[in-house]
Amino acid sequence: MRKKLLSVVLLLSGVNTYAQQTDEGTIKSIFDQALSKGKSYEMLHDLCVNIGPRLSGSPGAAAAVEWSRHKMEDLGFDSVWLQPVMVPHWVRGEQEIGRILNSKKIGTKDMAITSLGGSIGTGAEGIAAGIVEVKSFDELKALGTKAIQGKIVFFNRPMDPAKINTFAAYSGAVEQRGNGAIEAAKLGAVAVIVRSMGSGLEEYPHTGGMRYATNIKLIPGVAISTQHAELLSKLLKEEKELQFYLETHCQILEDAPSFNVVGEIRGGEYKDEIIVVGGHLDSWDLAQGAHDDGAGCIQSIEVLRLFKSIGYKPKRTIRAVMFMNEENGLRGGTKYAELAKQNKEKHLAAIESDRGGFAPRGFTMSASDKIKSIIRSWKPLLEPYDLWDFNQEGGGADIGPLTTQGVALIGYLPDSQRYFSVHHTSEDTIDKVDKRELELGSASMAALVYLIDKYGFK
């Protein structure tokens, strides 16, 4: 009772009660607060349900900017502001049709497809053509123009299910989505269908960004569900003459104005040294962007809120950044780094959460050997909270542009097994997020920020 009274008095008098606390004690307070009085889930639920999809340039993205600004103002952070940035503006359009026209086995059948972000549309006339299936760019090139001219190329290399790290499996397949339309167009293809970047067999497709190259014809690109990719592949083995109809109405519009949203708590001792925690505010248009990356945004806000609620006053300035446009342009991350340089800001570290709101495993790092070993020396403090993997390289897409300014880049590393069943799909909704796992992620990030803030990298 007396102890409690004393800490209330100390809090009220503005004395940093954590100056004398052990690291174990402070980290325990962070986790206690996040798990018993946390706001992570409540905030994410609000963002998902009341704002919803927020692709760059959309009304949803604009609403999400205002939502996060107000949220951070209401939480009483020292400063909250917007960083203007122009973003690509792509719209899907209403109707998307992918149809097998003439199968001897199954006749006419609609397939689960969705346009890839950044694709041109086919227009109302659609495209009807034969299909050539390939598993790699090498296979495509070996077939050559003669086989590809006038055809739809079907890229069907799955994410390798034998890889334990699903992000590695994703990396091994995603070039088909990113560059498939360029490689196929070089050989005269009229469109591409890409097997969804999903780790299982699902009935819904996964969208995601695709690119075009200058001087190479723009052809439409769609993703097909993994289930229908299997079906199509099976049919093609016996029915080489299969015809496919594609109709999409997506459009690439003029770049649109948007914002990164930044909130900070200023440091006491070294206020000019900044530690960033962030996620990306934009999401694909097919769902609520709960895991990708509403979770990361909310966890970043929660880090600052946790510090305030346990009365921890940081030595350094802690910033929560909601980056805009990670999914189809990375303009927000690029702008943030540009402004940091222009304003001669000193960033000590940037931590991004963009691998879903799943249970903690550790942190990835892209930093000097010295900094890596300092962070690894904190492992005994973090291991009790299931944070044990500090061995993987990497930071995060949005913080990546800070690398040229010598900033230590860190990625929150949660369990990866379920991420690629919802990533970029209609299924990335709040009901797929576990409240406790999300909260553990917020606390994990706060614990690491606390240690970096307290000890620096000296």
Characterize 408-447 residue by residue with b for buried, 16 or more Cβ atoms within 10 angstroms of its Cβ, and e for exposed. Answer: bbbbbbbebebbbbbbbbbbbbbebbebebbbbbbbbbbb
The H-or-E segment that residue 333 falls in is helix 331-342
Pairing mode, strands 127-134 and 152-155? parallel
CA distance 34 to 49: 22
Does 133 contact Zn ion by CB under 5 A? no
> Nearest distance from residue 400's CB to Zn ion, in Å?
13
- Residue with smaller CB distance to Zn ion, 65 or 153: 65
Question: Which range binds Zn ion by CB under 5 A, 50-58, 166-174, 240-248, 293-301?
Answer: 293-301
Residues contacting 449, CB < 8 A, separation 6+: 275, 277, 303, 307, 314, 318, 351
Question: Which range binds Zn ion by CB under 5 A, 80-88, 141-149, 178-186, 292-300?
Answer: 292-300
> Nearest distance from residue 293's CB to Zn ion, in Å?
4
Phi, psi (degrees; rounded to nearest 5) at 282: -75, 155
CA nearest to 118, candidates 333, 428, 423, 329: 329
Q: Which of 326, 327, 427, 439 is catalytic?
A: 326
CA nearest to 119, candidates 45, 49, 193, 52: 193
CA distance 281 to 46: 14
Question: What is the number of alpha carbons within 13 Å of residue 100 lying toward its C-beta?
Answer: 24
Binding mask 352-381 for Zn ion (x = CB under 5 A): --x---------------------------
CA distance 113 to 118: 15
> Nearest distance from residue 253's CB to Zn ion, in Å?
22
- Residue with smaller CB distance to Zn ion, 48 or 236: 48
Cβ–Cβ under 8 Å, residues 106 and 234:
no
326 is catalytic: yes
Q: Rg for the chain (alpha carbons), in Å?
A: 24
> Nearest distance from residue 285's CB to Zn ion, in Å?
14
> Nearest distance from residue 17's CB to Zn ion, in Å?
37
> Nearest distance from residue 235's CB to Zn ion, in Å?
34
CA distance 35 to 257: 37
Tell me which DSSP letter residue 237 carries.
Answer: H
- Residue with smaller CB distance to Zn ion, 317 or 325: 325
Binders of Zn ion in range 335-354 (CB under 5 A) = 354
> Nearest distance from residue 326's CB to Zn ion, in Å?
6
Question: Which range binds Zn ion by CB under 5 A, 19-27, 166-174, 185-193, 286-294?
Answer: 286-294
Phi, psi (degrees; rounded to nearest 5) at 258: -155, -165
Binding mask 217-246 for Zn ion (x = CB under 5 A): ------------------------------
- Residue with smaller CB distance to Zn ion, 183 or 326: 326
The residue within the footprint of Zn ion, chosen from 273, 292, 437, 453 (CB under 5 A), is 292
Does 202 contact Zn ion by CB under 5 A? no
Does 453 contact Zn ion by CB under 5 A? no
Cβ–Cβ under 8 Å, residues 33 and 306:
yes
> Nearest distance from residue 242's CB to Zn ion, in Å?
35
- Residue with smaller CB distance to Zn ion, 264 or 292: 292
- Residue with smaller CB distance to Zn ion, 280 or 313: 280
CA distance 260 to 356: 20
CA distance 58 to 70: 19
CA distance 366 to 382: 19
CA distance 348 to 327: 26
Query: Considering CB under 5 A, how many residues would be counted as binding Zn ion?
Result: 3
- Residue with smaller CB distance to Zn ion, 121 or 357: 357
- Residue with smaller CB distance to Zn ion, 202 or 292: 292
Residues that bind Zn ion (CB under 5 A): 292-293, 354
Catalytic residues: 326
